[in-house]
Chain A
Amino acid sequence: MFEFDVESFDFRKYSNRQLICIPLTLMLLSVLILSGWYFFTGSPVNPGIEFTGGAELLLISDNGIEPIRTTFGSSSHSIRSIVTRENAYIVNFQTSLINPEQLESMAIDSGFEVLSVQSTSPSFGAETQRLALIGLVAAFVGMATVVFILFRKIVPSVAVVLSALGDILVPLAIMNLLGIQLSLGTLAALLMLIGYSVDSDILLTNHILKRKGNFYDSLYRAMKTGLTMTLTSFSAIMVMTITAFLFGVDLLTSIGIVLIFGLIVDILNTYLLNVSLLRWYVGEKQ
């Protein structure tokens, strides 16, 4: 049995400004990275083929990468091998000038075993992109509305929403830096983060606003529970990510990586950003 020794981090020693500057700097950096990406690539993230249109083939080539290069030549955008599956390669086609079934038959004719084909036309991709944006904004607005209705107080609600915003922005920037594309899978991960992050934020806000007694007692109690929650989610997702990576289940791996970063960032956002906003709010009133 272990307990989180949360009291060892003495919040009293630090001013609100000091606490808030770490998560805010991270968020600001992320916004800079995302806007830089937008400036240089025309898109704030690296959109996957589900959004841009294109094709992706997963195939087995017994003689390594060279035959794949000769077959598809310059029409392929990237070829990468899969660590855990012998002789397996993912061939990516960003432009869909060649239709997917032609790619498939080219691969079969060259003696590759085709394990999967995924292809999206540019027009369908554009529609998906539009829908995904609507979905993400609607999800965020929906979450924010519920938070405001639940707490009916501006500052605590803004604190929760702001920390959820950080939980999405920072992992998005990290995805750019690690070269992880935004796909429907990673979008799902970002939305899962809204769910996970709001859990601990609501717990914290509830403990501090609805309890009598010392601010710090409530805070540490909420932290103990909250960190246990984050640790269990974290360990489950860590295990999922590692096994999915070893088995080569791409979708679950990329969901996992985004969640891992999101949960780490969430700890900062909840216990530095959200806490200091609440302390400021409560202090003002007392």
Chain B
Amino acid sequence: MNIRQFWRVIVLILLLVLSVVLIVPSGPPQITSSDSSLDLNYGLDLSGGTRLRAPLLGYTAEQVDFTYRNEVEIEENLVDYFGFLSRSDVDATLGQGGLGTIEIFSDISEEDFKLALDHLNLNHNDIIQGVTSQTRQTTIEVLNKKFDESGLSGATVQQSITTTGQYFIVIEVPNYNGSQVRKLVEKRGSVEVIANFPDATGENKNIVVLTQSDIATVGTVQEPGISISSYHVPVTLTESGAIKFQKTLHSNGFTSSNGVNSCTSSLPPEMRHCINTVLDGDIVYSASLSSGLAQTIIAGDLASSKNFVMTSVNQSGAELLRLHLRAGALPAPLDLDSGTIDFVSPSLADNFKLYSLLIGILSIFAVAAVVFLRYGKIKVALPMVVTALSEVVILLGFSSAIGLALDLSHIAGFIAVIGTGVDDLIIIADEVMSGGDISSKRIFQNRFKTAFWIIGAAALTTIAALSPLAILSLGDLRGFAIITILGVLLGVLITRPAYGDILRFLLNLK
């Protein structure tokens, strides 16, 4: 027997061995649980967890003429113009040649944005829905940090783009449900400390005394103690932050006898001096300046000690505060109402995994039964079943190698591959065995060529039909299309011709 004639069979065997090595985990066999038995990645359907898909909320004005303006001035002008926006909702970035971009991260209309820019005499190009790639990148980084800090391990954050050019952030978190994930990402997590007090004329005033950039390090959540009667997070301020804090409070009456301990319901609102912890614009905690901290500020010692505490009403509130302080604020909020949320419980996913395996095996038995009954010859039918199976094994090996996360849609793809695969093998077998015995190699070759034309043609049409779906971002359909196309390619190039070689070898034995 000539090795060159059977090169396809050899390639098939090599690929099979390689795939088995990839799928079967190295090291001692684990008997403990069923899900560690194969070295494959599983997606949401088969591992359990939450997938959340949402665009970032915002509008971007491009090519804005920044001549004679600076970023801060533009941001403040826009905040004043709209009235309901906070500073973190607006971002002006100067680029090259005096041109820059302005982003507004809020649910305004494009028309209002345009009017605002016209009002401020800012020349600009188009206003587009969405945010800049820089903002997207930073958002993804911050989201990753939030998941790291929260202990929701194994979370992945990616971006995807639709054919219309809209970007989506895709978050996948194994083992956690939708509300746990949503709690972390539904807010931007911008933490501010705002001083609320009556000014000299008695008018109620708010001044931002600390933002996230004024905080240098964040400690762990502390239980209520003697000095601080609620859950709190100790932080250290930056030097400039501490000086700003000290100066603002001192000059606005917080350290005076009227100010200290005045944030209490026993005083009328116009007399209160409160230090508010504000999360995304909502006051989460209001506190007075304690007499101890007032002494430190009067003595001017805060700038050297820099110690401060952020308080919250309960432990979970404090944990969330700590998380947002450590991870930072999302540059742009996720528009959760314009996306999708999917959750599969880990127990259901485990069931799906087992069921998929069973469904696959039973389907293969059904195929095997039919081909055995139809051909009656083990020589024809057995290699057929083995070849079809090997296509699935090689595809599994390939998925393992590229780290593809298997979902139910891929299982459907595998079954499609078995189906078309066996169809093609039937064409080869019928064609080769048609019209009596194969007396010469030439007759075999001719018949095989005809069969191969049909298989190749069918494969081309299947690939043409499925390739749009492999490109479009259509969730589940993409995985199905990719697996089916790969399976068809593998089949036409390697396994199905190899079956022809095996068949020739076995039939010639007679």
Contact = CB atoms under 8 A, between A and B. Distances in A.
Contact of A121 (B337, B362, B415): B337
Contacts of A210: 450
Interface of B is mostly: helix
Contacts of B461: 142-143, 146-147, 150, 194-195, 198, 202
A2 B375 CA distance: 7
Contacts of B453: 206
Interface in B331-385: 336-345, 347-348, 351-352, 355-356, 358-359, 362-367, 369-371, 373-377
Interface of A is mostly: helix
B370 A235 contact: yes
A136 B370 CA distance: 32
Contact of A192 (B416, B422, B424, B468): B416
Given A101-B178, A101-B179, A249-B356, A199 B420 contact: yes
B467 to A, nearest CB: 7
B86 to A, nearest CB: 24
Contact of A135 (B419, B426, B474, B484): B474
B450 A188 contact: no
Interface residues of B, number: 82
A195 B344 CA distance: 31
Given A150-B457, A240-B415, A251-B412, A235 B366 contact: yes
A229 B429 CA distance: 11
A139 B418 CA distance: 21
Contacts of A189: 412
B420 A1 contact: no
B243 interface: no
A195 B363 contact: no
B477 interface: yes
Contacts of B424: 199
B454 interface: yes
A150 B343 CA distance: 45
A196 B423 contact: yes
Nearest to B355: A247
Interface string A252-263: 100100000000
B347 A115 contact: yes
B430 A249 contact: no
Contacts of B377: 1
A101 to B, nearest CB: 4
A156 to B, nearest CB: 12
Contacts of A240: 359, 362-363, 415
A123 interface: yes
B469 A135 contact: yes
A261 to B, nearest CB: 15
Query: What class of interface size applies to chain A in its complex with B?
Result: 35 or more
A252 B46 CA distance: 13
B423 to A, nearest CB: 4
A100 B409 contact: no
Interface in A83-142: 99-101, 104-105, 113-121, 123-124, 127-128, 131-132, 134-135, 138-140, 142
Given A101-B179, A239-B363, A221 B411 contact: no
Given A124-B339, A143-B461, A185-B476, A233 B419 contact: yes
B476 A188 contact: yes
20 contacts: A3-B374, A104-B177, A117-B341, A120-B340, A121-B338, A134-B472, A139-B466, A147-B461, A150-B460, A185-B476, A194-B461, A195-B465, A198-B461, A221-B430, A225-B431, A233-B422, A236-B418, A240-B415, A249-B356, A249-B408
Given A146-B460, A228-B426, A233-B422, 5 more contacts: A124-B339, A128-B474, A184-B409, A188-B480, A237-B419
